[in-house]
Every structure is written in structure tokens, then in C-alpha cells.
Amino acid sequence: MSDSFKAKSPSRRQFLSGAAAVGAGVVAGTTAKAAGPDPLITQVQDWASGTGDGVDATPYGLPIDYESDVVRRNVEWLTADTISSINFTPIHALDGTITPQGCAFERHHSGAIELRKQDYRLMINGLVDNPLVFSYEDLERFPRENRVYFCECAANTGMEWAGSQLNGAQFTHGMIHNMEYSGIPLRTLLEEAGLNAAGDLKDKWVYVEGADASSNGRSIPMEKALDDVLVAFKANGEALRKEHGYPVRLVVPGWEGNMWVKWLRRIEVTDQAVESREETSKYTDTLEDGTARKWTWEMDAKSVVTSPSPQSPIKHGHGPLVITGLAWSGRGAITRVDVSKDGGKTWETARLAAPGEKMAMTRFYLDTTWDGEEMLLQSRAMDDTGYVQPTKAELRDVRGLNSIYHNNCIQTWWIKSDGEAENVEVS
Amino acid sequence: MSKYRNLIITSALAATLGAAPAFAEKFGLGRTALPEEIAAWDLDISPDGTGLPVGSGNAFDGEELFADYCAICHGDFAEGVDNWPKLAGGMDTLDHEDPLKTVGSYWPFLSTTFDYVRRSMPFGNAQTLTDDEVYAIVAYILYSNDLVDDDFELSNENFLEVEMPNAGGFIVDDRLTSEAHFVREPCMADCKEGTPEVVMRAMVLDVTPEETKARKVQELMDATKPDADRDTAAVAETAVVAEAATEEAEPVAEEAPVEEVVALDPEMIAKGEKVFKKCKACHQVGEKAKNKTGPVLNGIVGAPAGAVEGFKYSKPMAAAGEDGLVWTEEELTAFLTKPKAYMKKTKMSFAGLKKEADIDAVLTYLKSFGQ
């Protein structure tokens, strides 16, 4: 397939990065036939002879140094300033479905603030029977739930609308994380304040905002607010990180990450959408004719192969290969993921590590063999509404080229014969 | 609200809403919010004007305020600086490639502009403008978009009379209908005519951050020269690419300033670091500091004013530097107490540090960054 493609001659950088993987492959891929006894086995190693760290070495543990490249990264040219910017989860290097908090992507509009629990206040006002103020301790006394949900920025994959740009699953699909939240149903808090004053709830909204300078206010229809929205204070069992809204954030299952207001400080019941900055000038989707969709809250079904991928090339030799990735849908549970090795001409169904859960990430595997052939690797998710993840061309047919948000198209990685991978578009 | 009606088909949710009066018993937690508290936080303004404060301001005054508080990011004419948002222009570009979305060309409601400026601007110094100043700045943004004349005065009285060009430019999410064809049987074989071929490559565009390339270079070096002598030809060749990877080697260089720090009170430095958060929106310090909205502040205490290389100072600041102003602790204290009073027309849109202790702490912190 590479014959048909008129590429520019590779730059020195590309040459070097390509050569790197080959070199590494040579070192790593020697387990099949031992040239001689392995000194790692035949000689007593320091770690088998001496001692390691005591239990007081790291009161709160961090990943071992050898994993120091598995970190959030940002793309400097994307935004004017890191304070109002985004970084990316290293999904290429993770497995399973739960994203550790320490490497879960961040998106701030006025920076990650530090707000102590004792300084925390949550106000509910507007069309309620009794406007209330809660302290953090008050929130801990309401019945709470544990739920796993993905949070995806509406702009995830947004840089890829016009063509393949960023070379790595972390950068193309890393504005997402998946955590187990402990929190109170928003419904419980609204009922505590009393909704009789709101009258008919069908045309009512809640306006939610954060304590940071951006406030990042968003309007959420009452129907969603009473359905599955959580006011959360723990993620993956521990306190939220400051960058994810410590001490309290909103969890809006399946809906775009911008609505998951961090440092949540106020919930107002209103009779109209506020039409704040984040729901008019941003997070609206411009179509080809110049009109824009608004209130595009749900995240469509989507998937991506996380390995092999540009940051996670095939380094072992020929033979068994695990192709793996993530799938999710804001409208329900993932029911199936298919994988194509030939750019979408033929597909085979991957194995789901566990049955899909509503609005949570699903891990898929395709256990296969690879003999050095080039692949145009793709994955395609289906959810329980019957929706099948579209190609980029199909999305462009409906939406044109001027959208930024909600790009849920099928991603292609070109796996080369040396195991290196590249982000490409295919015909 | 048609979006809402589309969704309500789901029977479970319909039941949820129908059950409105029969709410669960209360827990008796929390306390009643006081009117003053609600007034302090309930600042949102709706398209119909709900929430607008009484006040007014004209485009002429707005221009001056904009130059003082906003232009450093948004440009004197709201045309935007670097990657910062452009607030003016872009009329009739929405159906073009790369549409320019500004307050004038895109924002459907003026209430959004007022709401956002009042609550979140200036960046790094939100909620320091008076309501009249916000009216004036919003009037100027309208003027910069050619939507009003320069003598236009905006007030809560005439606010709803302003017509926003793109007010009718939005439709409610229609994906469930316009993209209903994505609900389908997935094709498994012969899904494309011919053999799929690569038509675009990310490597050609080459905009991926360097770290990942640097990592690969590191791997190359590890693989080819697993042991010691890495600083040979291979390194020289890859130096450009490896730049980002050298961060790990840099702590050695950081040791130098530590000696100067010794004399400074570590507690004061820590306190100053906290105070410095107010400055961080615009200023950087430290090894990798770059000029941002404001200049790098390494070694600023005792340095001549207006002298940081590569930073474009306001005219008065540049002039003061030429006249020999040196940032002694006394001068910096005076400046930081009330920047605009100390130097009219400084670019620094910061209200000032009220507490002397905060100023002392932040100066100690700044002193911990030698040069």
C-alpha cells in the first residue's frame, strides 16, 4: 500500500524515530532462542541480594521511575496559555479501563485552583422552595452512590477534523478519562431544596457553575439533572485531585466534559438556558453552511486502538500480537467493537474484556498474529442504541470541515513492517 | 426547548418528571442561603436580560478601559494577540474554511458577553471591574465590531435593543435525525471499493510535541549505546531532536541558585509562592520561564525596570527604565501596592496587593530566583 502513496522523503527526525524502534526491537525480541545463558538469570542480581525501600520511603506512592514517560502531555501550539488549556491522558500506555487520577487529562479555563474543604460552600438557589447552602461536611451526610463513568472533552480528536495531525493516541484521543466516582445524586440535593416552586419541571433547567475565575457555567435540562447527574467528591476511591475539581465536582454521565463543572459552587434552578460563554461561543458546532448546532451534549459512540499506535509501536518480533483499545458511548453501553487491519475493507469482531457498562469505558482486545505485514489498523464501536461509529468521510458529509467538537470518527494507524505506527487518513 | 421534547420520549424519564410532587423526605441538611449570599454569587445574565445590573458605559470610555485591561491579550482593536481570542471581525466567514468566530460574527446573545466579562475578566484578575466599566467595555467590543457608533452608550435600559448579527445562526442538536443513518448494520467484508490507501499522514505535517520524538531518540541511544559514552557522534546528530529530552539532565544546572537562597527565609519563600499565584496568570519565574502576558521575573529585585529581553513594555514602563528606574524593594513595593497609581498606563492589569506582608513574601520568593 505504501507504493501508492507519494510521501515526502522522510526527514532526519522521522528516520531517527523509525530507527529507534528497530533498534529497541532487536534488543527486546531475543527471547525465542537464547544465544547463551542469560546473566539476568545465572548471575545473582543486586535486587536479589540486597534490600529494597522500607515502608516509610513513600507515604503516598508514585509510579516507579521506569514509567516516567507515562505522563500527561500538552500540545503547546494549541492554546495561548497553559492556564486556559488542556493536556492529554497517556492512553497509549494504559490498560484496563480505570484511569489513574495522576495521569487523567486536565482542562482548565482559569487554572486549577486550590480550595480547602473548610472553605467550600455549595449553594442551591433560583426556583427552589428554600435556597440552601451546604458545607462539605453536609454533603458527606447524604446517601451516596459509586458509579464508573467516562469524561470526554467535546474537543477530543478535534484537531483531526481537517486531516491527520497529531502522531499518537494520547494526542488524538487522550482528552478522556474513566473513573469510579463516589457522590450524591444531584436529584437528592435539588429535592432537599424543594422543587415545588419550579412548577412544571419539563421546561426547567439547572445552571451549574464553579468557584474558579472562569466559573465555567453551563445549563443542564432538568430532566438530565434529575436522572443520573452526581455531585462527586471522590474518584477511584480517594479525594478528587485539585486539577479535577477538589473538593467537589459535577459528574454528567455521557455528556461533554465541559459540563462536568469542577470546584462546583452553585446550582440554580432556572426557567431558561443561561446561554453562557461555554454554551454559545464555545462548545457549539459549526456546520458547512455556517449555522451551528448548539446543546450538543451527548458524546457519540467512539473507539480507538491504543496499542499498537504511534507512541506504542510493535517492538517484539513476528508472531503473537495483542491489539487493544478503548470504546465508549455517551448514549449507552458498548455492545461490540470491530477491528480492521486493511483500512476498513474487512472487519473482525474484537473481544470485550468485560460487558459494556452505560457511559463507561470498555476495553477491547484482538488477540492475533503479525508477520511484519503493513496494516491500516482501525476500530469501530457499536452501542446499545444500534449506532455504529462512522468514518471521518461520513461525518464530514453531514457536518463539513469547520467543526471542532464531537469528532467521533474511526481512527487509522498505519503499522509499518518495522512495527512503527503513524496517524493517517485512508481512502 | 424542542431538544428537551425529543429526549423525553424515554418512558422512564417521563415517569421521573411526572412524579414531581411526591419527592422523598428531606434530610434537614444545609442551611438557608441568605439574600446577600445569593446576590454575591448569582451573577448570571440570561438572554432576556434577567440579572442585568443597573448601569451604563459608553464605547469611548470603553476604549480606554479596553486598552488598560484587555488589549494585552485581545489587542487594541479586539483583533487578538497570538493565540488569544479575537473578539472582533470575521463577519460573513462562518461558512468559509476556518471561520473567524468573534462576538460580532458568532455570539448570538449580548448577555453572554456582559456576563463573561463581568465574571471572568480580566484574565487573572476577574471580578475587579465595576458594572459601569463592564458596560463600557462591552460597548467598545460592539464598536470594534462596527455594530455601534463610537458615541454609543450601553445601559441596562437599551441592552436588549442591540441586534447581534448571528442571533439566528444556531439550531438545536439534530444528530438523532440528521445522523440517524449511523444506526445501522455494520459492514464486515468488502466494505470499500478497491484497496484503502493512505491519503494523508501526520508525520508530514509534523506538529506532534517533541517529547515523544525525544523519547524515541532516547530509545535509539539506549539501544545502540547501552552503556556509558553517549556524548559522541550519535548525540551530536540527534541534538536538535533530543532538546526536550535533556530536561532530565538539567537538575545539575539548578543547583547554582540554591546558594543565594540560603540567606532567605524558607517560610517566607513558601508564603511568597502562594501569593505569587495571583501573578502566575501573566508572569513566570524559574529555569524554564518565558515571557508571557508579563515579563519573566527571574532576578527582578534589583534589576533595571523595563529591561527584560524580548518583552514589549508599555511606553511609560520603557521610559521609566530608560530614565534609570531600578526595581529596588521599595520601588517594587510601591508598584505592587497599586500598579495603576504607581504607573499610569502600565500594561499590568492587576489591582495590587493589599497586605504589606504579602508583598514582602512575594519579594522574598522572587529573590529566590537569581537570574
Which CATH number belongs to the domain containing residue B298 in this structure?
A: 1.10.760.10
Of A10, A76, A163, the CB nearest to B209: A76
In the predicted model, what is the mean pLDDT of residues B141-156? 96
In a domain, B12, yes or no: no
Q: Does A227 touch chain B (CB under 8 A)?
A: yes
* Residues in chain B closer than 8 A to A130 (CB atoms): 32
CB spacing of B212 vs A213 below 8 angstroms = no
Nearest residue to B350 (alpha-carbon basis) of B281, B248, B247: B281
In a domain, A56, yes or no: no
Return the pLDDT at B234. 37
Nearest residue to B116 (alpha-carbon basis) of B97, B98, B103: B103
Choose between B235 and B21: higher pLDDT. B21
In a domain, A14, yes or no: no
Return the pLDDT at A14. 41
* Residues in chain B closer than 8 A to A380 (CB atoms): 186
Of A126, A133, A272, the CB nearest to B31: A133
Tens of pLDDT, residue by residue over A146-168, are 999 999 999 999 999 888 999 99
In the predicted model, what is the mean pLDDT of residues A310-327? 97
CB spacing of B126 vs A111 below 8 angstroms = no
Rg (CA), chain A: 24
CA separation for the pair B45, B53 (Å, rounded): 9
pLDDT(B218) > 80:
no
CB spacing of B196 vs A343 below 8 angstroms = yes
Q: Does B177 touch chain A (CB under 8 A)?
A: no
The residue from A265, A293, A321 where one domain ends is: A293
Alpha carbon of B236 to those of B211, B221, B225: distances in Å? 18, 11, 14
CATH code (residue A167)? 3.90.420.10
Tens of pLDDT, residue by residue over A198-211, are 999 999 999 999 99
CA B177-B180-B181 angle, to 5 degrees, is 140
Question: For residue A241, what is the DSSP state?
Answer: P
* Residues in chain B closer than 8 A to A84 (CB atoms): 123
Mark whether B313 and B346 lie in a shared domain: yes
Mark whether A191 and A252 lie in a shared domain: yes
Mark whether A368 and A315 lie in a shared domain: yes
In the predicted model, what is the mean pLDDT of residues A236-246? 98
Q: Which range in A116-120, B124-128, B207-211, B337-341 is most confidently predicted, on average pLDDT?
A: A116-120
Mark whether A285 and A361 lie in a shared domain: no
Return the pLDDT at B222. 58
Confidence label for B221 from pLDDT (cuts 50, 70 and 90) = low
In the predicted model, what is the mean pLDDT of residues B102-129? 95
Mark whether A128 and A240 lie in a shared domain: yes
Mark whether A138 and A222 lie in a shared domain: yes
Nearest residue to B112 (alpha-carbon basis) of B43, B62, B31, B17: B43
Mark whether B243 and B289 lie in a shared domain: no
CB spacing of B44 vs A276 below 8 angstroms = yes
Confidence label for B283 from pLDDT (cuts 50, 70 and 90) = confident
Confidence label for B239 from pLDDT (cuts 50, 70 and 90) = very low
Q: Select from A87, A120, A189, A215 the residue whose CB has the most chain B CBs within 10 Å, as the one to mutate to test that interface.
A: A215
Residue indicated by cell numbers 539476568 = A40
Share of chain B above pLDDT 90, in %: 45
pLDDT(A75) > 80:
yes
Tens of pLDDT, residue by residue over A100-153, are 999 999 999 999 999 999 999 999 999 999 999 999 999 999 999 999 999 999
Q: Does A253 touch chain B (CB under 8 A)?
A: no
Mark whether B226 and B298 lie in a shared domain: no
The residue from A249, A265, A293 where one domain ends is: A293
* Residues in chain B closer than 8 A to A214 (CB atoms): 120, 126
The residue from B249, B280, B313 where one domain ends is: B249
Share of chain A above pLDDT 90, in %: 87
Mark whether A325 and A350 lie in a shared domain: yes
Choose between A200 and B258: higher pLDDT. A200
Of A138, A209, A388, the CB nearest to B184: A388
Confidence label for A356 from pLDDT (cuts 50, 70 and 90) = very high
The residue from B249, B265, B299 where one domain ends is: B249
Return the pLDDT at B261. 43
The total number of structural domains in chain B stands at 3
Choose between A105 and B354: higher pLDDT. A105
Mark whether B149 and B228 lie in a shared domain: no
pLDDT(B5) > 60:
no
In the predicted model, what is the mean pLDDT of residues B349-364? 84
**Touching A: B residues 106-135, CB under 8 Å:** 106-109, 111-112, 115-116, 119-120, 123-124, 126-127
In a domain, A379, yes or no: yes
Q: Does B97 touch chain A (CB under 8 A)?
A: yes
Q: Which domain holds residue B227?
A: 210-249
CB spacing of A11 vs B37 below 8 angstroms = no
Return the pLDDT at B212. 56
* Residues in chain B closer than 8 A to A382 (CB atoms): 186
- C-alpha cell, A44: 545473582
In a domain, B118, yes or no: yes
Mark whether A323 and A236 lie in a shared domain: no
Please enumerate in sequence order all residues whose Cβ is within 8 A of that of A49, keeping only pairs 6 or more positions apart, or say none. none
The residue from A270, A293, A316 where one domain ends is: A293
Confidence label for A53 from pLDDT (cuts 50, 70 and 90) = very high
In the predicted model, what is the mean pLDDT of residues A44-70? 95
Bond before B266 cis per omega within 30 degrees: no
* Residues in chain B closer than 8 A to A141 (CB atoms): 27, 29
In the predicted model, what is the mean pLDDT of residues B259-268? 67
Mark whether A172 and A307 lie in a shared domain: no
* Range from A27-31, A200-204, B85-89 carrying the lowest mean pLDDT: A27-31
**Touching A: B residues 40-59, CB under 8 Å:** 41-42, 44-48, 50
In the predicted model, what is the mean pLDDT of residues A23-43? 70
What is the ipTM, given to two decimal places? 0.90
CB spacing of A388 vs B182 below 8 angstroms = yes
Asked whether the beta carbons of A299 and B125 are under 8 A apart, the reply is no
How many residue pairs bridge chain A and chain B with CB atoms within 8 Å of each other?
Answer: 354
Q: How far is CA A73 from the centre of its chain?
A: 13
Question: What SS3 class is residue B181?
Answer: helix
Mark whether B221 and B303 lie in a shared domain: no
Beta bridge partners of A86: A107
CA separation for the pair B288, B198 (Å, rounded): 39
Mark whether A131 and A263 lie in a shared domain: yes
Nearest residue to A181 (alpha-carbon basis) of A249, A131, A273: A249
CA separation for the pair B369, B308 (Å, rounded): 14
Mark whether A138 and A270 lie in a shared domain: yes
Choose between B174 and B312: higher pLDDT. B174
Q: Which residue of B has its CA nearest to A3?
A: B197
CB spacing of B108 vs A123 below 8 angstroms = no
In the predicted model, what is the mean pLDDT of residues B23-34? 88
Return the pLDDT at B15. 46
Q: Which long-range contacts (CB under 8 A, 24 or more apart) does B83-92 make?
A: B83/A77, B83/A79, B83/A80, B83/A81, B84/A80, B84/A81, B87/B141, B87/B144, B87/B145, B88/B141, B88/B144, B88/B145, B89/B145, B91/B145, B91/B146, B91/B165
In a domain, B197, yes or no: no
pLDDT(A7) > 60:
no
pLDDT(B243) > 50:
no
Q: Which domain holds residue A171?
A: 103-293
Please enumerate in sequence order all residues whose Cβ is within 8 A of that of A417, keeping only pairs 6 or more positions apart, or say none. A372, A373, A374
Residue indicated by cell numbers 546528530 = B237
In the predicted model, what is the mean pLDDT of residues A281-308? 97
pLDDT(B83) > 90:
no
Of B17, B112, B219, the CB nearest to A280: B112
Mark whether A226 and A134 lie in a shared domain: yes
Rg (CA), chain B: 28
**Touching A: B residues 270-309, CB under 8 Å:** 280-281, 292-293
The residue from B196, B218, B249 where one domain ends is: B249
- C-alpha cell, B147: 455594530
Share of chain B above pLDDT 70, in %: 79
Residue indicated by cell numbers 507512541 = A311
CA separation for the pair A224, A205 (Å, rounded): 9
**Touching B: A residues 317-346, CB under 8 Å:** 336, 338, 340, 342-346
- C-alpha cell, B217: 531518540
Confidence label for B181 from pLDDT (cuts 50, 70 and 90) = very high
Tens of pLDDT, residue by residue over B190-215, are 999 999 999 999 877 778 886 555 55
The total number of structural domains in chain A stands at 2
CB spacing of A295 vs B172 below 8 angstroms = yes
In the predicted model, what is the mean pLDDT of residues A387-409? 95
Q: Does B170 touch chain A (CB under 8 A)?
A: yes
Averaged confidence pLDDT in chain A: 92
pLDDT(B27) > 90:
yes
For A235, list phi and psi in degrees, rounded to 5.
Answer: -140, 130
Mark whether B56 and B139 lie in a shared domain: yes
In the predicted model, what is the mean pLDDT of residues B331-340? 86
CATH code (residue A409)? 2.60.40.650
CA separation for the pair B362, B330 (Å, rounded): 13
Return the pLDDT at B195. 94
Counting Cβ atoms within 10 Å, is residue B5 exposed (0-12), middle (13-18) or buried (19+)? Answer: exposed
| Min Cα separation A371/chain B (Å) | 20
Mark whether B150 and B221 lie in a shared domain: no
* Range from A212-216, B124-128, B215-219 carrying the lowest mean pLDDT: B215-219
Mark whether A152 and A261 lie in a shared domain: yes
